[in-house]
Structure 1
Amino acid sequence: MPPEPIPDGASSHYRALERLYNAAPVNTLFPSELHIPGEGRSRLVFSVSENVYHAAGAAHGTIYFKMLDDAAFYAANTLVTDRFLLTTSFNLHFTKPVRGGKVVAEGRWVSGRKRVLVAESRLTDEDGDEIGRGTGTFMRSRIALSGLDGYAR
């Protein structure tokens, strides 16, 4: 068998961010899968079921915020290899209720590389219809990524 290729620095960072996401305790409450395909991008996939409904029988806004924030956050953190980012603000727009099925959150870095970064995200249902979108600002923290469970093996 040929040896496995050694991942480049960016790819290693992306895989470490995916491990960090999986290690976050909150994700046991909101099962989802993160994939980082490249710099400034992220993709989250999750399923909506009745256990996340509000009283009127559709997904609670908590789900929208969590997935939109995470998608934008991880898209931005692909550009920062030494520090954990913190969400400083997030603007959210609900465009359609969702009652079930697979939902995808895609994040995209928009601007900033130094102290503050801006990223946006979009939620689509399994029919490809947009159900929400958001824009966030993220600031470098003093928390080293290398010291976080999940990021460092």
Structure 2
Amino acid sequence: MSIWRKVGSDFRRLTRPFPQLANMNVIWRCGNGETLCEMVLMIIFGEGKMGIMNDHYRKLERMYLSAPINSQLYKGIDITISKEAAEIALKIEPVYFHAANAIHGSVYFKLLDDAAFFAVNSIVEDVFVYTVSFNTHLLRPISKGIIKAIGQLKFKSQNLFISESTLYDDQGKVAGFGTGNFMKSKIGLTSDIGYK
């Protein structure tokens, strides 16, 4: 049996309890000799550095969703965090509209800033970061559908982080973008602020 077929059969056997993984095609081994299926299972079960980082991302997501502004004003907002990136989605509701029946610029700012912020905090594991400055560009009005902000870390040093984010309408068109500067605060990432 070829190594590739063996890896594929191992993957199918080990992921049988996880039907969402069953159709993945596996055609390589990792550098340390583990099959990709073993690496995926480590991620799922939280082993090693990857599992620790995934735990950090999930705690940041729960912290974000439990914040009063999100749990009370932006109900239905969703966030996904990964290394140096964050994605935030929000269903448009009339409560976010200005007088001309499109979402207010403050909603653009919030989603762009939040996505850029969490792209930074994804790599800062001990403290809450804060926005020093954020420049926002509003390109087109949005009045329906689901909007999505995607943030990406662009620069990091010991004290300063620069992150960019782009806001998309439900047709995938760019509706706005922003760039922000962020720094570490002295506020620890603890359960007191929802990091749990």
TM-score of Structure 1 vs Structure 2, range by shorter chain: over 0.9
More strand by share: 1
Alignment TM-score, normalising by the size of structure 1: 0.93
1:21 maps to a residue whose letter is: Y
Contact 1:107 1:119 in 2 (8 A): yes
By how many angstroms is 1:43 displaced? 0.5
The alignment status of 1:19 with 2:19, answered yes or no, reads no
For 1:129-144, list aligned pairs within 5 A: 129-144=173-188
2:184 maps to a residue whose letter is: R
Q: Deviations over 1:54-105 (max 9, x none)?
A: 1111100010001000000000101100010011100000011001110011
* Distance in 1 of aligned mates of 2:191 and 2:91: 31
The alignment status of 1:126 with 2:170, answered yes or no, reads yes
SS at match of 2:57: helix
Larger radius of gyration: 2
2:78 maps to a residue whose letter is: E
The alignment status of 1:34 with 2:79, answered yes or no, reads yes
Q: Give the counterpart of 1:60 among 104, 107, 114.
A: 104
* Distance in 2 of aligned mates of 1:144 and 1:97: 38
By how many angstroms is 1:6 displaced? 2.5
By how many angstroms is 1:141 displaced? 0.3
2:104 maps to a residue whose letter is: H
* Distance in 2 of aligned mates of 1:47 and 1:126: 9
Q: In structure 1, list runs of 5 or more residues that go unmatched.
A: none
More helix by share: 2
Contact 1:123 1:132 in 2 (8 A): yes
1:108 corresponds in structure 2 to 152
Contact 2:89 2:149 in 1 (8 A): yes
More relative contact order in 1 or in 2 (CA 8 Å, sep 6+)? 1
SS at match of 1:148: helix
By how many angstroms is 1:147 displaced? 4.6
SS at match of 1:111: strand
Q: Deviations over 1:9-53 (max 9, x none)?
A: 1111101100110111000201310011x2100001101121111
* Distance in 1 of aligned mates of 2:192 and 2:182: 18
Runs of 4+ residues deviating >6 angstroms: 1-4
Report the identity percentage: 38
2:35 corresponds in structure 1 to none
SS at match of 2:45: coil
Q: Give the counterpart of 1:5 among 41, 45, 62.
A: 45
1:47 maps to a residue whose letter is: K
SS at match of 1:71: helix
